[in-house]
Amino acid sequence: MRLALLGGTGDIGEGLALRWAYDTNHEILIGSRDPEKARTKAEEYETELSSRGVDRDVKGFENAMAADRADVIVLSVPAYHAADTVEAVADRLDDGDVLVTPATGMRRDDDGFHYHRPNAGSVTELVADAAPEDVAVVGAFHNLAAGRLANLDAELGVDTLLVGEDEDALDTVELLAESIEGLRALRAGGLANAPEIEALTPLLVNVGQHTEGLHDLGVRFQ
Amino acid sequence: MRLALLGGTGDIGEGLALRWAYDTNHEILIGSRDPEKARTKAEEYETELSSRGVDRDVKGFENAMAADRADVIVLSVPAYHAADTVEAVADRLDDGDVLVTPATGMRRDDDGFHYHRPNAGSVTELVADAAPEDVAVVGAFHNLAAGRLANLDAELGVDTLLVGEDEDALDTVELLAESIEGLRALRAGGLANAPEIEALTPLLVNVGQHTEGLHDLGVRFQ
């Protein structure tokens, strides 16, 4: 399978790219608005993998080109770029492609981080609204600490929650998620259930900031 | 220490009462608007504990009477009764008492359960607004599955998050929480960080409903 990480030069994109390259044989495409940056980061990922004895070809492209070539497209961009990025690549998405959105809206104040809920209900629903009708949208990977994901020495042992309306697309993303060692995927219902998932991300930051010895936190449902 | 569970005849109150009675030597007072109901439930709890070889005196009172006698008062009432209950017992609360609020606002629709955020920001902050000034309010126990808590055969192995402004009160509630076997207490900052904690409760219900074999879910931060 071909996986594109749009905004794959950023932190969550880096983590997913490295984990999938390390744990699977899927083809990994790094997307960026700047194709040169995408290529540079792709080479960095290859070097990191190579240092661990994994020889992998990771390619960098401009976002639309990466989306065009992939079956599963992960929008690993900041929340405020999510809808723009979908629009920028929309005519490159094919019927049957799966669009995955891990972004969440956060705002910081003196007390800590808070969920900043967009009018669409959630960033996940904002992406679904912006996506072409024949492209299935799945919300996933919202609650993963990027630093821990990108550190291949770090054990995960955490869960990620999936929301979406298309069962086949959910199955695909579940398989992709669980192909990452230490990551368990759990279903949380339809896209309308995304806000509570996205709100968990600022909570993880707040808990990490108030508890010594816990950082880059994830969550396990048990 | 004397612990009062206002609304202690309900599900989360029952769980906390049984766990504290089973795992600690604190005096447990069950409160209800109806003192007769409080006494009946207190006897049921005694019978349950006795069947496990624990002879404990659990007393039932009208809410205000229970609050009057206790050092730590847990508002184990539904969210829509939280402020009313504080007002009904306010003149029985002493300087130095700790008021603990585990309630969260939820609404159900066709997709699942959703966080219903009150204007105060959260139910926790609603309680803090209603409480007398010299009484410290701590948000805790929001994300515990009541059925699992009340089943003394069930292992917990989960976390509860604490928010509040008063360090002494937070220390007291942390000790009380961790006196329950298998429960770990983690700090999440001030009362303004309560909304994201409360929003986790409907998410736990949604995940449980979509995942076979997982129910009465709790959460572990790791």
Over residues A192-201, the pLDDT tens digits come to 999 999 999 9
Residue A221 sits at the chain B interface (C-beta within 8 Å):
yes
User: What residues of chain A lie within 8 A of the CB of B199, using their CB?
Assistant: 115, 195-196, 199-200, 203
CB proximity A137 to B under 8 Å: no
Could you tell me the domains of chain A?
2-104+120-194 (3.40.50.720)
Question: Coil, strand, or helix at residue A5?
Answer: strand
Instruction: Check: CB of residue B106 under 8 Å from CB of residue B209.
Output: no
pLDDT tens readout for residues A40-94: 999 999 999 999 999 999 999 999 999 999 999 999 999 999 999 999 999 999 9
How far is the CA of B83 from the CAs of B29, B76, B118, B212, in angstroms? Answer: 20, 12, 11, 37
Cross-strand partners of A157: none
The DSSP bridge partners found for residue B58 are B28
Please name the residue of chain B whose CA is at the shortest distance from the CA of residue A191: B111
Task: Spell out where chain A has E strands.
Answer: 2-6, 27-32, 58-62, 72-75, 98-101, 106-108, 113-115, 136-139, 158-164, 183-187, 219-221
| Claim: this prediction has a pTM higher than 0.90 | yes
CB A163 within 8 A of CB A194: yes
Would the CB atoms of B211 and A187 count as touching at under 8 Å? yes
Residue B88 DSSP code:
H
Alpha helices in A7-133 (DSSP H): 11-23, 35-50, 63-69, 79-89, 123-130
Q: Do A189 and B206 touch (CB under 8 A)?
A: yes
| Rounded-to-integer distance, Cα B79 and Cα B115, Å | 12
User: How far B196 CA sits from the closest chain A CA (Å)?
Assistant: 6
Listed residue (B119, B68, B79) closest to B202, CA to CA: B79
Collapsing DSSP to helix, strand or coil, A134 comes out as coil
pLDDT per residue over B86-120, tens digit each?
999 999 999 999 999 999 999 999 999 999 999 99
> Are the Cβ atoms of B111 and A199 closer than 8 angstroms?
no
Read off the amino acid at residue A74. Answer: V
Is the CB of A204 inside 8 Å of chain B's CB atoms? yes
* pLDDT of the residue at A213: 84
> DSSP state, A51?
T
Length of chain B: 222
Mark yes or no for CB contact A210/B221 under 8 Å.
no
